[in-house]
């Protein structure tokens, strides 16, 4: 098992003042009776990173978070925060705070008392003062004396965030904190959360099943499936070069086709898929011979009414349009390619309509956009999972 | 369902037909009809007896009348007489009831917490303990109190053990002491303390305890800062349900007490009514007891009460 180390391919943006600490998980396994929620997980999150754990429900991401918080004990393995082994420390002795999915605000306390709770437990003499500052940061200082039940969902969410943040923990954990909010508020809170993280420079671990949320907010995304991390990296790297079918399908959409490698030249693997020649760069393929799976993202495809002129380095397929759906900014097409299956693509709505139901169309894409997966992948793994 | 609309002139018009309005009024009247039987029962068996008791408490005993012979009057002196004669029993009753309530709370809260919170994931065990908690109700109150006499008897293991470790002097007794009466009261009213607290703690959101632990509160602090304040309505209901009947109880004092320092006001009322045949005195004492409880409970509610009960 290789150690996943979070490294962004972008320039390493050093946070202005990093107060967070490195988080390290070593060989973490969590068993519940017969069910294994997390399997031998190794993970290092450098301090000051906005890290997203992304995966469908039941993939073990929330369990991982609870183990970091100290609410569940791992069956095996060690948890280190800032280099210190905290595996056996109870939650109240860990410099970690959580924003819970349910918010878990104390209903018998005012908003201000809620935010001051952690500071008071640490005997902070300026607890109230800091709590007020915390409320100001989430722009709720005018509601300090209200009860949580008198607040809207979005406001409660911000109180929960302030309550965790004011303690300036080494690691801040967010368990699907935006799950209960409506779309518009969600977008706004995503933006605010990211801004706050940049401002305070703490290490954020954000658990979510929303791939768009993970990609917009996080510096590093780890895609989890069945208790393991499938792939980890900067959102763009993960999207552009998925290493497994699950990542290809769960993070955005992908067209995956089975192919057989017939040769290799000039850094390109040549494969046959149902009689068509498909090229994929060697460095973008997980496997280089035998049966493989070749993938391409829908937006990388060009749609033609007539057979395009053959150009080097381009892959071409043809098929029949079996579904057209108008989504506003784009029109989505589903094309049945004989022997390969259904390929999805879309075109921007700029006045033209390139194809209609039943039309025979041609698809082409720059082979540099192809990616190659192992031949034993399940092609629809992770499709429509949340 | 109302069908109000704004007309062009800005007036609110009622678009309901005459039949609909009638139907709505009938619905309103149905509610009144449903309340009548309950009101009737309350009047016959509560309001009327209270009025009878009140008038009885003011009856006078004419010179040379036979035992049990009284005439209607407005003899307020009855209250002064019984209060001056039995104020110590009244105070003792409230003292015993208070101690029993505190003990029941100290014993009952952990029981309720165990069953409602700790055993939440263990349905079977929770069910068994809950049945055990309610089981005493299936046997007679008097019988259970008698059983305490056996438990606390000089030959019983409780008294023997206490003598062995020299907590109780060799010639000491447990029965016929204030200790036995308070123990009996505590035992008999314990379920009334446990059940409301259990019902309340059953709704406790344990995620709040996780949040509190996450915010540096030790389990002990979490209990005092989160669990206990949130269960206050249950504690409040439990203390009232224990204190009120315990203050008026006379079975425990009669069976487990003595004639010197355990007499409770309930016993006095009982003997005034049935032994001495002093109806006005007994009625006056009943009223004093009722009023004192009312005043104490009102003060208690004012001080600790939750909005739900007010």
Q: How confident is the model at residue A386 (pLDDT cuts 50, 70, 90)?
A: low
Are B39 and B83 members of one domain? no
For residues A259-285, give the mean pLDDT.
91
Domain A4-240, CATH number (from 3.40.1170.60, 3.40.50.300, 1.10.620.20, 3.30.420.40): 3.40.50.300
Are B40 and B94 members of one domain? no
User: Could you give the CA distance from residue B59 to residue B71 in angstroms, rounded to a whole number?
Assistant: 6
| Nearest CB neighbour to A98, from listed B208, B214, B229 | B214
* Disruptive mutation site among A110, A116, A118, A156 for chain B (greatest number of B CBs within 10 Å): A118
Are B147 and B268 members of one domain? yes
pLDDT at A308: 82
Q: Is B7 within the bounds of a domain? A: no
Interface of A with B in 40-69 (CB under 8 A): 69
Are B152 and B261 members of one domain? yes
Cβ atoms of residues A372 and A286 within 8 Å: yes
pLDDT at A378: 84
Q: What number is the ipTM of this complex? A: 0.81
List pLDDT tens digits, range A78-88.
999 988 999 99
Q: Is B113 within the bounds of a domain? A: yes
pLDDT at A8: 41
List pLDDT tens digits, range B206-218.
999 999 999 999 9
Q: Given an 8 Å threshold on Cβ–Cβ distance, is B230 in contact with A90?
A: no
pLDDT at A309: 81
- The CATH number assigned to the domain holding B193 equals 1.10.3720.10
Q: pLDDT tens per residue, chain B (310 residues)?
A: 444 454 554 455 566 677 777 777 777 788 888 999 999 999 999 999 999 999 999 998 888 878 878 888 888 999 999 999 999 999 999 999 999 999 999 999 999 999 999 999 888 999 999 999 888 888 888 888 988 888 888 888 888 888 888 888 888 888 889 999 999 999 999 999 999 999 999 999 999 999 999 999 999 999 999 999 999 999 999 999 999 999 999 999 999 998 889 999 999 999 998 988 899 999 999 999 999 999 999 999 888 766 544 3
Residue A280, CA distances (Å) to A40, A261, A269, A366 in order: 33, 10, 5, 9
| Nearest CB neighbour to B215, from listed A71, A107, A117 | A117
Residue bearing the bigger pLDDT, A85 or A9: A85
pLDDT at B167: 83
Are B280 and B230 members of one domain? yes
Q: Given an 8 Å threshold on Cβ–Cβ distance, is B230 in contact with A92?
A: no
Q: Is B62 within the bounds of a domain? A: no
Residues 6+ apart with CB under 8 A from B233: B200, B306, B308, B309
Q: How confident is the model at residue A347 (pLDDT cuts 50, 70, 90)?
A: confident
pLDDT at A7: 45
| A261–chain B Cβ distance below 8 A for any pair | no
Are B181 and B267 members of one domain? yes
pLDDT at A189 > cutoff 70:
yes
Are B91 and B133 members of one domain? yes
* Weakest-pLDDT range from A144-153, A291-300, A342-351: A342-351
| Nearest CB neighbour to B226, from listed A93, A106, A167 | A106
Interface of B with A in 224-283 (CB under 8 A): 225-226, 229-230
Chain A closest CA to B121's CA: distance in Å?
A: 14
Are B31 and B158 members of one domain? no
pLDDT at A356 > cutoff 90:
no
Q: How confident is the model at residue A306 (pLDDT cuts 50, 70, 90)?
A: confident
SS3 state at A24: strand
Are B37 and B185 members of one domain? no
Show residues of chain B in contact with A108, CB under 8 Å: 226, 229-230
List pLDDT tens digits, range A282-299.
999 999 989 999 999 999
List pLDDT tens digits, range A308-317.
887 778 899 9
Sequence-ordered alpha helix ranges (H) in chain A: 61-69, 111-121, 127-137, 153-165, 183-200, 211-217, 235-240, 245-250
Could you tell me the residue ranges of all domains in chain A? Answer: 4-240, 253-374
Q: Is B220 within the bounds of a domain? A: yes
pLDDT at B2: 45
| A123–chain B Cβ distance below 8 A for any pair | no
Q: How confident is the model at residue A223 (pLDDT cuts 50, 70, 90)?
A: very high
pLDDT at B23: 77
| Nearest CB neighbour to A91, from listed B208, B214, B221 | B214
Q: Is B2 within the bounds of a domain? A: no
Are B276 and B129 members of one domain? yes
User: Could you give the CA distance from residue B30 to residue A240 in angstroms, rounded to a whole number?
Assistant: 70
Show residues of chain A in contact with B224, CB under 8 Å: none
Q: Is B4 within the bounds of a domain? A: no
User: Could you give the CA distance from residue B198 to residue A279 in angstroms, rounded to a whole number?
Assistant: 69
Q: Which residue in chain A has the smallest CA separation from B207? A: A104
Structural domains of chain B, count: 2
pLDDT at A10: 40
Residues 6+ apart with CB under 8 A from A198: A15, A16
| Nearest CB neighbour to B214, from listed A69, A106, A108 | A69
pLDDT at B306: 60
| B211–chain A Cβ distance below 8 A for any pair | yes
Q: What is the largest CA-CA distance in chain A?
A: 75
Parent domain of B20: 12-56
Interface A-B, measured as beta-carbon pairs within 8 A, has a size of 61
Q: How confident is the model at residue A12 (pLDDT cuts 50, 70, 90)?
A: very low
Q: Which residue in chain B has the smallest CA separation from A105? A: B208
Cβ atoms of residues A178 and A186 within 8 Å: yes
pLDDT at B24: 75
Chain A closest CA to B123's CA: distance in Å?
A: 18
Sheet with A276-281, strands from edge to edge, namely A276-281, A268-273, A255-265, A291-296, A371-374
The CATH class of A253-374 is mainly beta
Q: Is B72 within the bounds of a domain? A: no
- Rounded to the nearest 10 degrees, what angle do helices B178-201 and B232-248 cross at? 150
User: Could you give the CA distance from residue B259 to residue B268 in angstroms, rounded to a whole number?
Assistant: 11
pLDDT at B294: 93
Residues 6+ apart with CB under 8 A from B101: B189, B193, B239, B242, B243, B246
pLDDT at A98 > cutoff 80:
yes
| Nearest CB neighbour to B213, from listed A92, A106, A163 | A92
Are B229 and B83 members of one domain? yes
Q: How confident is the model at residue A199 (pLDDT cuts 50, 70, 90)?
A: confident
pLDDT at B129: 92
Are B35 and B141 members of one domain? no
Q: Given an 8 Å threshold on Cβ–Cβ distance, is B212 in contact with A117?
A: yes
């Amino acid at each position: 098992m290789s150690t996943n180390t979070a490294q962004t391919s972008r320039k390493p943006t050093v946070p202005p003042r990093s107060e967070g600490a490195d988080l390290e998980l070593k060989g973490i396994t969590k068993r519940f009776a017969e069910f294994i929620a997390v399997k031998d997980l190794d993970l290092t999150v450098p301090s000051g990173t906005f890290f997203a754990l992304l995966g469908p429900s039941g993939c073990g991401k929330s369990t991982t978070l609870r183990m970091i918080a100290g609410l569940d004990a791992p069956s095996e393995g060690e948890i280190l925060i800032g280099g210190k082994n905290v595996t056996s420390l109870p939650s109240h002795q860990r410099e970690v705070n959580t924003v819970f999915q349910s918010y878990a605000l104390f209903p018998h306390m005012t908003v201000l008392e809620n935010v001051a709770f952690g500071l008071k437990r640490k005997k902070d003499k300026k607890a109230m003062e800091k709590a007020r500052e915390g409320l100001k940061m989430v722009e709720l200082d005018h509601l300090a004396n209200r009860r949580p039940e008198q607040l809207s969902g979005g406001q409660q969410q911000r109180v929960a965030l302030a309550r965790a943040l004011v303690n300036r923990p080494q690691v801040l954990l967010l368990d699907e904190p935006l799950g209960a909010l409506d779309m518009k508020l969600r977008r706004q809170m995503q933006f605010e959360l990211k801004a706050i993280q940049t401002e305070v420079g703490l290490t954020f671990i954000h658990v979510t099943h929303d791939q768009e949320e993970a990609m917009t907010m996080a510096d590093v995304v780890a895609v989890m499936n069945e208790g393991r991390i499938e792939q980890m990296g900067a959102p763009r790297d993960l999207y552009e070069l998925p290493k497994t079918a699950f990542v290809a399908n769960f993070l955005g959409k992908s067209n995956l086709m089975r192919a057989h490698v017939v040769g290799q030249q000039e850094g390109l693997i040549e494969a046959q898929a149902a009689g068509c020649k498909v090229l994929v760069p060697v460095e973008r393929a997980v496997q280089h011979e035998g049966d493989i799976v070749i993938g391409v993202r829908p937006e990388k495809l060009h749609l033609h009414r007539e057979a395009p002129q053959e150009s080097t380095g381009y892959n071409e397929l043809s098929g029949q349009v079996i579904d057209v759906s108008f989504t506003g900014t784009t029109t989505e097409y589903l094309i049945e390619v004989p022997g390969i299956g259904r390929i999805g693509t879309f075109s921007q709505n700029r006045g033209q309509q390139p194809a209609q139901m039943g039309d025979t169309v041609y698809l082409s894409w720059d082979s540099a956009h192809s990616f190659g997966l192992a031949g034993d992948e399940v092609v629809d793994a992770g499709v429509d999972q949340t | 369902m109302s069908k109000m609309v704004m007309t062009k002139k800005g007036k609110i018009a009622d678009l309901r037909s005459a039949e609909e309005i009638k139907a709505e009024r009938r619905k309103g009247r149905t509610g009144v009809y449903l309340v009548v039987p309950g009101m009737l029962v309350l009047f016959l068996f509560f309001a009327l007896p209270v009025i009878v008791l009140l008038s009885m408490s003011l009856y006078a005993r004419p010179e040379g009348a036979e035992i049990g012979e009284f005439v209607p009057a407005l003899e307020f002196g009855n209250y002064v007489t019984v209060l001056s004669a039995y104020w110590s029993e009244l105070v003792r009753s409230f003292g015993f009831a208070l101690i029993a309530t505190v003990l029941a709370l100290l014993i009952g809260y952990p029981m309720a917490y165990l069953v409602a919170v700790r055993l939440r994931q263990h349905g079977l065990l929770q069910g068994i303990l809950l049945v055990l908690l309610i089981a005493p109700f299936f046997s007679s109150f008097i019988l259970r109190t008698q059983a305490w006499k056996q438990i606390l008897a000089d030959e019983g293991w409780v008294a023997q053990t206490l003598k062995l470790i020299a907590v109780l002097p060799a010639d000491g007794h447990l029965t016929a002491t204030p200790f036995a009466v308070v123990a009996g009261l505590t035992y008999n009213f314990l379920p009334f303390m446990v059940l409301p607290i259990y019902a309340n703690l059953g709704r406790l959101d344990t995620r709040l305890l996780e949040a509190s632990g996450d915010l540096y509160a030790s389990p002990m602090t979490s209990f005092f800062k989160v669990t206990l304040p949130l269960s206050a309505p249950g504690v409040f209901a439990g203390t009232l349900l224990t204190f009120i009947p315990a203050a008026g109880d006379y079975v425990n004092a009669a069976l487990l007490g003595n004639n010197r320092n355990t007499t409770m006001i309930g016993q006095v009322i009982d003997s005034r009514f049935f032994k001495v045949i002093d109806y006005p005195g007994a009625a006056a004492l009943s009223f004093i007891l009722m009023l004192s409880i009312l005043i104490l409970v009102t003060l208690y509610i004012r001080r600790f009460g939750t909005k739900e009960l007010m």
